[in-house]
Structure 1
Amino acid sequence: MKKTLLLLWMSLFVLFLLPSPGHAAANTSKIFLDGEQLNLPNDVQVTIVNKNVMIPIRVVAENLKFQVDWNQKASQVKIQQDNQILALTVNQKQAMVGDKEVSLNTAPQIINNTVVVPIRFVSEQMGLTVKWNNQEKIVYLVNTIKTPAQEPSTNPGQDDSSTLAQVTDILFTNNQLLVSMDQDVQPIITTLKNPDRLVVDLPGTVFGDMAQPLDQGMNGKLDVSGFPNVTDVRYSLFKKDPGQVRIVVELNQVKSVQFSQEQVAGKLIVDLNVSGENVIPVIVTPVGEPGRKVVVIDPGHGGSDPGTISITNKPEKDFTLAVGLKVQALLLQEENIQLVMTRVTDVYPTRPERVKLANDLNADVFVSIHGNSVESAPKVSGTETFYYQRSSSKDLANVIHKHLIQAMGLKDRGVKNGNLEVIRNTKMPAVLLELGFLSNAEEEVALLTEDMQMKAAQAIVDGIKEYLGL
């Protein structure tokens, strides 16, 4: 256990930052290890880099007397305790723990001549329970091997703070409010008028290591410019004693507010079905049911992002949505599949939001639907399928591509390894389908027909089912 704890600490190595805009102020941050406050030098502080909380580990490294080697030429630090070795490389998201390669949220950096690494690397790869009190700028680290009876309080002088749940992420996409917490919380959801709004109260919660920004008053809001029936999504620390986070979804020109809620492993999902003009109801199967596979279908582009423009000036986003909705209709008939769509209307979830949705739901399969284009070569045609590195993604790509070629009858352009964000950053088997070329006159005509789109949709569903063994 001692070896593990030491290695955990050194995974973060040295953090040594001066204050800058958006970072925590000097001498205001604290770190508690198993309830004991660490003595930090005046020039060391907890800070935030690219929305990731960074923890200073230099003082811990010095106290525990690890063997630390810095290779300046390779920009790599190696930390060793007995036979345990951890290696981190600046500007690379891959690190080595022994002979195992692991991924970091953010690549290590050199700031003010010091290597910095996100604290999440500790909790995910090294076995410590890590909590971040954004209001007080305090990091709590607890050795999870200890029993509850042995484990000291992580916040001396404040008996209830260590028991509060921490809200770590708030996302609104596909008419769904997704709230991530480090433990389950029973929400209190109410609807109010003038203006119409949905209020989600989370008793016994505070903000933790938030992906979204907070102002000094512990308030924030999301960008909802792609959702015409949503005016505002804002959040705040509504009560401090005890803590309570409140999220308000303000709606625009709706006749009534309808919603359903599901809670799965610390994630609250509130599905909104707003009844009003020009609104397509969202059909989302609740996720997390045992024995059912979670499939995320991603109709590419949408809203402010038209994608490519076809040879007759039609946007790719309309084609991908048309195919995506046909896939949706087919998958909703499958009892063993739980379906989540990244969009079902003409809105634009960003690529990181699409990735995050799939990762947060721990999906089994992610399929992104696209139309291809090479304006300078209008004769280019055919279907191609992309995956990124993982063998599981390649297997999924091969199966779906086989069905697409058989069903659509277009030129086989093969299965290819592609460095594309939505398949690179998703954690499950993921593929991006380029069904055909909208820049090819003959192919565009075929792709825009109901018959060809149904063939493509059925092929996608058949491929997913074959890959999942359903």
Structure 2
Amino acid sequence: MKKFGFLALLLLLLVLVHPGTGYAGSAETHINLDGNDLKISKEAQVQIVNGSVMVPLRVVAEQLGYTVKWDNVTKTALIEQKGTILKLILNNEMAEASGKQVKLDNPPFLSGTTTLVPLRFVGEHTGTSVGWDNVTKTVYLTSPAPEIGVSDPEIKVPDTSVTTPSDNGSNGNTATGGNASVSAATNLSFVDNKLIIAVNGSVTPNVFTMTDKDRIVVDLPNTSFGDSFHQNLSTGKNQNGQLTITDNPNVSAVRYSLFSSSPSTIRIVIDLNSASNYSVTNANDGLIIVDLNGTSTTPPATTAPEVPVTTPPPVTNDTGKKIIVIDAGHGGKDSGGVSVNKLYEKDFTLPTALKIAELLKNDPNIQVVLTRSDDTYPTLQERAKLANNLKADLFISIHANSIPEGSKSNPSGTETYYTRKESLQFAQTVHKYLVAATGLSDRGVRQSSLHVTRETTMPAILLECGYLSNTKDEALLFSADFQDKVANAVVLGIKEQLGR
């Protein structure tokens, strides 16, 4: 994380005062930092004071190791890091940041033993991206990545256009010339030992290795950083940045830079701990994947198993098999939600439902029925009616979530919905497997009046497996590996529910 991002978190803990008037809080609130939910105590809950979101972050600050001095006589907190000095005073609406006076929405205050400060102050004066989801009572914080020094020869902006060095005969494609139209990189993530690059437009990456230090280099010719890239990741004044990689034995860092402005070229460098094989997938579907696991990833349309719709059995089921209805949300004329990179929800739900069906068909005691097996649109009424007529034992609808474009919050994670009380246990059972398998934030089991879970007569649930509006979630949702994990999690939940 960038030093100023960390510093922002320190500001959230360091001033003392009694809660102001107009306080409104909830029994449980959440703080999500860089996609990870932080553990906060009952005393350290987010609070709303006079319409301002006040955030406690002592638990975060204690992990950062920054220098903090508190003067109990003047009630002043002095926070210092590499020449940057911030000063906050008890019960004072004025703060000081690098010698400049800053007026706060509300004075910082003490809640129990935890200190709080206005969330907006963090976003406006530290470079940290912030957001508040009032529905889930969640604060979202995204720390800018640390800047990369221009002394790094393989990442800095050179005076000449991009060259394509390769010292081991790698299979990269050559960068194109400077007259082509410029595409945009919209996001970057490193998940499951895969570099995932989201782009708008047609991009032919040039991928090669450097062996003086073990590195994999990805050049994106005729490509610049898009607006959403700047919103999700820090590029700094030098148009470069770095992803924080932890607990990965193969990769120490992923760095990125606007390598050349003529032609506009983005360079991404994967710093390795040792030489590694890799494969590249670019299906011109908005995602470029560099897989260090040695296997290629292909679009869901080609990886989904062909599972035909099971012919509905008679209403009286004498086979003794459990009937499971799998519903791929949306379809046909109804695309469902649209992701950041203009991918359709229906193109996630169908391959995932097919994978679930493929796994379940191996169980001789289960009969699988799909509400759709191709790009068609059964109405919500038809989906519920099918399950009811079959007297199905369980009903599962597959979806991906999204929030309106322009929303200040950017949630990530999985949610499971149910309507009737008899569906709660089934929802809880599947949800625990889903959260464990996907590794995304646990956004909980929720009750909502949804048609397919309300109008069905058997235990029925609807899964929101991730957020299309979150670029990191999006990259996962449309990967075959993630869909396999979701499918396996659903099957485990089904079998536990059935007592198998």
- TM-score, length-scaled by structure 2: 0.37
- TM-score, length-scaled by structure 1: 0.39
